Amino acid sequence: MREVFEGSHVPENGIVHVHIMGTGINSRGELKTCDFDELVSLTEGVRVLTPLRDPVKSIISREQRHPELSHEFIPEAFSKLHRLNAVFLPIDSDRDRAEVLETALKGLGLRGNEVFQDWPVFNTRGGYQMKLDYEAGIVPNMPEVDLLVEESKTIIPFLKSQGYKYMPWWDLCK
């Protein structure tokens, strides 16, 4: 990340892919990590598009990919996202996906493109039991979900500000 700040390592396409906090492991097994305060600084000077999804879906997905690792950085990161000067792309909100993308692109000062009008929902992992249970409203009993509930006074208003109306784990916060 330091190379990006110094301008010595910005890919030709201008896209820098980072994982917020913790140890993000991509599909090639490479570690990608970023200190959150560095990311906040980056968003002060660079337009940043940040995909956003239900944090429990993020936890479930990472558990499926890496059950041997802790996922506690996910609730911690979600509790801090409101600090970013970023355009968020809520990829699994109830809003129309083309509208969500168009809004995000406009937030970056870009124009939409008809290519994005047909943006299919796609998950390379397919269906697996924990994901299917959550889609049916059954919230997994995991320490990371407990951490989300603890931080819900910050996380839920932020998610609502991004167009989310309801997530099953919100019921645990009452």
pLDDT digits (tens, 9 = 90+) for 80-133: 888 888 888 888 888 877 788 888 888 877 776 655 556 666 666 678 899 999
pTM check: above 0.85? no
Q: Nearest 5°: phi and psi at 20? A: -80, 120
How far apart (Å, rounded) are the C-alpha atoms in residues 171 and 97? Answer: 25
Angle (deg, nearest 10), helices 152-161 and 143-150 = 80
The strand pairing partners of 32, in sequence order, are 24
